[in-house]
Structure 1
């Protein structure tokens, strides 16, 4: 266990000696001014996902919310940290955009498709109820003999879209959208290739950034 702590401490030293000096002015500015992020980025807690790296954002530019499966309970259900972060980001920080970002090989989506695999994790099982509709639609749209990978890709996409529907039930979000002050987008990140696909509309579906559907 101690070797993990030492690894983390070594990383801090590299940050202080190699990374921080090159961006010292950026960090000093971030510390001396109130934060004004332009985006709330809702991502999975998966350790392979790095929102700042993916978007090449600087300190203070994106407000990040991470949880298992990048889920957003509908307003009034499971009120807690997620609802508080959304409300804080939209009402106080005045973010202008919200990203809901799913990703390939998501453990939460695997658990959603195979509920028996998470029966020993009651908190996780309960949390995944926020994605039940995504599983139902993904399975309904499936074809006979399709691969598990195809179903996994579809449920990942459907989950992001359904979480955006949940997000719109939050009063702060609904009001900001009505005033024309907030927009929302659905993303899926492919870990192995670095590709990011963003939902365009029902006709185009998820389109790779910089590419075509």
Structure 2
């Protein structure tokens, strides 16, 4: 805990003064350009990966970068998505998975989660990805987990479309969806191309978009 306290002191002493003008602006409100949905994994830091300053990203982090489908009793993820799209008017939503994800490893390997019932229920929102992953018939655990990470990003992109605010914004052409997978060891990011239906290098294809060209026309998946 002392490390955290020392970090606060260092922030107040060094980092805050260097960005004092930025923080004065942020004290009056926020105008983030994107909603970034990432895993809670301590190795995944959205602002570091994207090199964004405070105020540029509206962030949701949870186990497995999961987006539950919209339902009659929306939870915190649903409420945050709605606020980002309706109140803040973000133009982009990024759902970002990552390598060596513990949540996806648990699903791909049928880990015993009986001691963590809440985790087990939460990961049920990745059942569609699990079914697709199983159908691939992977020959090794590593390939199965890696594919599960990618399949889950695609599944969550499907789930987020069930949210009325997202569906409306997509149909009106004022929102784009992005599916990324961050590789911790190399720093590389793969992006899902909705038209090609495959992941490509974000560095080589910076305009890759998961929502695809059809969404701007008619809101179709």
Using the size of structure 1 for normalisation, the TM-score is 0.91
* Post-superposition CA distance 1:77-124 (Å, at most 9, x none): 762101100111111111100000000011110121234421210000
1-side partners of 2:52 and 2:41: how far apart? 19
1:207 to 200, 207, 215: 200
**Runs of 5+ in structure 2 lacking a partner?**
206-221
**SS in structure 1 of the partner of residue 27 of structure 2:** helix
2-side partners of 1:12 and 1:79: how far apart? 34
1:166 to 139, 159, 167: 159
2:150 aligns with: 157
- For the aligned residues, what is the CA RMSD? 1.5
CA distance 1:54–1:77, change in 2 (3 Å): farther
**SS in structure 2 of the partner of residue 191 of structure 1:** coil
Query: What aligned pairs does 1:67-146 form with structure 2 within 5 A after superposition?
Result: 67-76=62-71, 79-143=74-138, 146=139
1-side partners of 2:189 and 2:36: how far apart? 14
1:16 aligns with: 12
2:42 aligns with: 47
**SS in structure 2 of the partner of residue 102 of structure 1:** strand
Q: Aligned pairs, how many?
A: 205
1:188 aligns with: 181
Offset of residue 191 of structure 1: 0.9
Offset of residue 202 of structure 1: 6.2
